[in-house]
C-alpha cells in the first residue's frame, strides 16, 4: 500500500482484504454511519473522519499524515496481513471458507478500551439502532466537541466525566437499567480500581476476571471488550445469535454456550476472534439458525 496527499485528503492505494461496509456493519462498533454505498462518517479515538472506498483505494477526508499514522492505521488494523489469516482459517474448513468469501473485508478494529467497555455494557439486551442512539447521546451530553468539515461532533466522555454524575443526570441518555452499570464502570476506572488500559498486558483469563468484577459485565460482554478493545484475538464472543450459528454449522444440535466457547477456542486458537467475526457476519446476514 502507498499513501498520497490530495488537497486536504489522503488517498491510500493498493488496499487488500478490507471493505468499510463489512468492517463497520459487522456489529463490533457503534459510532460509524453510512453516508452512501461507499462512504461512512464516524468518531473514534477523539477524532472525526469521513472515509470513502473506491475499489482498492481508501480516501480519508480532511486528514493529515500524522492522524493517519497515529490513529487510523492502527484503529482500522491496516498493517495486518488478513489474506494470510483468511487462508489459514479456510484450510480444511468449508464453513469458514464460505464465510470468509462472504465477509472477507472485515477487519477487527482496535478500539479504545474504555469506550469499548461502555459500548458493550450498553449493548446488553439491546439492538444496534438503540445502542448507537444511546452512545451518541452519551457523547453529545458529556463528551468534548470536535469540529470537522464544518460540522460539530463529540468525543466519547472520559471516565472521570461520567463518574461524577448522578443516576438522575445520566438518565438523559435514556439507557434504562444500564445507567447504573455505566456509572459503576466509570467509577471503577476513574478511581483506578480497574486499570482498563493495563488489561492487555495480562493473560486472557486474568484480564477477563478483572472485567467480570464490574456490575453489568458478563461473559459475552467481557469477551467483546477483550477482543475489540484489548486485542485479545483468542477470544470468541458468543451470544444467542452466535450460539445458533455454531450449532447449525458445527454441532447440528443444541449446546451450552460454554461448550461452544471451549470448542471454538480449541479449534481456532489464536485466530478465534477473526473466525468469530467471519462466521457471525455470514450467519447474521444469511439468517442462519433463526428458526431454531
CATH number (1.10.3720.10, 2.30.130.10, 3.40.50.620, 1.10.340.30) of 113-228 reads: 1.10.340.30
User: Could you say which architecture CATH assigns to the domain 2-79?
Assistant: 2-Layer Sandwich (3.30)
* pTM score: 0.95
Domain boundaries, the chain: 2-79, 113-228, 240-285
What's the pLDDT band for 292 if we cut at 50, 70, 90? very low
What share of the chain in percent tops pLDDT 70?
A: 99
What's the pLDDT band for 287 if we cut at 50, 70, 90? confident
What's the pLDDT band for 290 if we cut at 50, 70, 90? low
Q: List, for residues 86-101, the tens digit of each pLDDT value.
A: 999 999 999 999 999 9
Return the pLDDT at 125.
87
Average pLDDT over residues 226-250: 95
Q: List, for residues 115-168, the tens digit of each pLDDT value.
A: 999 999 999 889 999 999 999 999 999 999 999 999 999 999 999 999 999 999
Residues forming beta bridges with residue 39, ordered by sequence position: 36, 52
Asked whether the CA dihedral 190, 192, 193, 196 is positive or negative, the reply is positive
Characterize 113-122 residue by residue with b for buried, 16 or more Cβ atoms within 10 angstroms of its Cβ, and e for exposed. Answer: bbbbbbbbbb
What's the pLDDT band for 291 if we cut at 50, 70, 90? low
Q: List, for residues 114-125, the tens digit of each pLDDT value.
A: 999 999 999 988
Asked whether the CA dihedral 65, 68, 74, 78 is positive or negative, the reply is negative
User: Could you say which architecture CATH assigns to the domain 240-285?
Assistant: Orthogonal Bundle (1.10)
* Residue among 115, 166, 117, 122 nearest 143 (CA): 115
Average pLDDT over residues 218-232: 97
Q: How far apart, in whole angstroms, are the C-alpha atoms of residue 27 and residue 83?
A: 21
* C-alpha cell recorded at residue 212: 467480570
Catalytic site residues? 220
Residues forming beta bridges with residue 48, ordered by sequence position: 43
Residue in the block written with cell 444500564? 178
Amino acid at each position: 500500500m502507498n499513501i498520497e496527499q490530495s488537497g486536504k485528503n489522503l488517498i491510500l492505494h493498493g488496499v487488500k482484504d478490507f471493505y468499510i461496509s463489512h468492517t463497520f456493519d459487522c456489529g463490533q462498533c457503534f459510532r460509524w454511519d453510512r453516508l452512501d454505498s461507499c462512504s461512512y462518517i464516524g468518531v473514534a479515538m477523539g477524532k472525526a473522519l469521513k472515509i470513502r472506498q473506491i475499489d482498492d483505494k481508501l480516501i480519508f477526508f480532511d486528514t493529515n499524515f500524522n492522524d493517519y499514522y497515529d490513529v487510523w492505521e492502527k484503529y482500522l488494523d491496516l498493517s495486518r496481513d488478513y489474506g494470510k489469516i483468511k487462508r489459514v482459517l479456510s484450510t480444511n474448513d468449508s464453513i469458514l471458507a464460505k464465510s470468509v468469501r462472504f465477509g472477507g473485508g472485515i477487519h477487527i478494529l482496535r478500539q479504545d478500551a474504555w469506550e469499548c467497555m461502555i459500548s458493550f455494557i450498553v449493548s446488553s439486551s439491546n439492538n444496534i439502532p438503540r445502542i448507537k442512539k444511546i452512545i451518541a447521546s452519551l457523547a453529545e451530553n458529556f463528551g468534548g466537541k470536535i469540529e470537522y468539515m464544518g460540522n460539530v461532533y463529540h468525543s466519547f466522555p472520559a471516565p472521570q466525566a461520567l463518574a461524577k454524575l448522578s443516576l438522575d443526570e445520566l438518565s438523559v441518555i435514556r439507557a434504562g437499567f444500564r445507567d447504573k452499570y455505566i456509572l459503576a464502570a466509570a467509577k471503577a476506572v476513574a478511581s483506578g480500581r480497574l486499570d482498563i488500559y493495563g488489561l492487555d498486558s495480562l493473560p486472557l483469563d486474568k484480564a477477563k476476571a478483572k472485567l467480570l468484577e464490574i456490575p453489568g459485565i458478563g461473559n459475552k460482554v467481557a469477551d467483546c471488550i477483550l477482543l475489540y478493545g484489548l486485542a485479545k484475538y483468542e477470544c470468541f464472543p458468543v451470544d444467542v445469535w452466535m450460539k445458533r450459528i455454531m450449532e447449525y454449522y458445527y454441532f447440528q444440535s443444541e449446546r451450552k454456550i460454554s461448550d461452544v466457547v471451549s470448542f471454538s477456542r480449541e479449534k481456532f486458537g489464536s485466530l478465534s476472534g477473526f473466525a468469530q467475526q467471519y462466521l457471525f457476519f455470514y450467519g447474521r446476514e444469511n439468517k442462519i439458525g433463526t428458526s431454531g
